[in-house]
Amino acid sequence: MPVCFVNIGGISNITVIDDQKYIYAYDTGPGMCLLDQYMVLKKKINFDKGGKHSLKGNVNPKILKKLMSDKYFLKKKNKSLDRNYFSLNPFMKLNFNDACATISAFTAHTIIKEANRFNAKYLIVSGGGSKNKNVIKLMQETFRGKLSTADHLNLNSDFIESQAFAYLGIRRIKDLPISFPSTTGVKYPVTGGKVN
C-alpha cells in the first residue's frame, strides 16, 4: 500500500510512493497561506501559532463544501497551485475563530482527500503546517491510515523541503533524473537543466 509524504508550507504538496514503484507528486491545495494571510489581516501577526485560534472555532460546513467543489480538485495528478488561486473572501463574514477553523479544515481536507484516494497506509507530515495542532487533529480524524509528523520521527520538519532540494541538486550533478512522467507530466524522466 502507498506511503504519502506531505509538506504543508504556503501550498500543500504530496508525494506518493506505492508498492508498484510508482511515484506521484503534486500540490493538493492551500497549505498555510490562507490562514497566514488571514492572521496578518485581522491580528497583524504572521500565523496562528500551534493552531490556538483555529482550535477555538467551529468549521462552517457550507463554505467548506463549496471550496472543496472547486475545479482544481477534479484534476487527478500532475497539477500545481499558485498561492493566490484561492482568496479570503469566503471567510470574511465569519467570526474570527470560526474563520480560522474553516480555513484550517480546508487545508486538512484537501490533503486527506488525496491521501485517501491512494488508500495510503501511512502519512508523514512536515512543514510549518505540521505544527498547527488543529490541522493535524482534523487530518487524523479523516485519514484512514496512520499519520505522523516528521518531528515525531526525529526528523526536523523545518528542513525537509530544503534537504529535498539539496538531494535533487546532487541527483542533477550525478546526471540522474529528478522529474518523471508521474510527477510533473514530462514525456520521459529528465534531469534538472545544465550545470555550468
DSSP letters along 140-196, please?
Answer: HHH-SSEEEETGGGT--TTSHHHHHHHHHHHHHHTT---B-HHHH--SS-B--S---
* Nearest alpha carbon to residue 91 among 127, 114, 57: 57
Task: Indicate the pLDDT class of residue 18, thresholds 50, 70 and 90.
Answer: confident
pLDDT in tens, 22-61: 888 999 999 999 999 999 999 999 999 999 999 999 999 9
Looking at 14-23, 69-78, 146-155, which range is the least confident one? 14-23
Quick check: pTM over 0.75? Answer: yes
pLDDT in tens, 77-97: 789 999 999 999 999 999 999
Quote the pLDDT of residue 78: 80
pLDDT in tens, 183-195: 888 888 899 777 7
All domains of the chain, ordered by start, with CATH? 3-158 (3.30.420.40)
pLDDT in tens, 138-181: 999 999 999 999 998 888 888 887 888 898 899 999 999 988 88
Quote the pLDDT of residue 138: 97
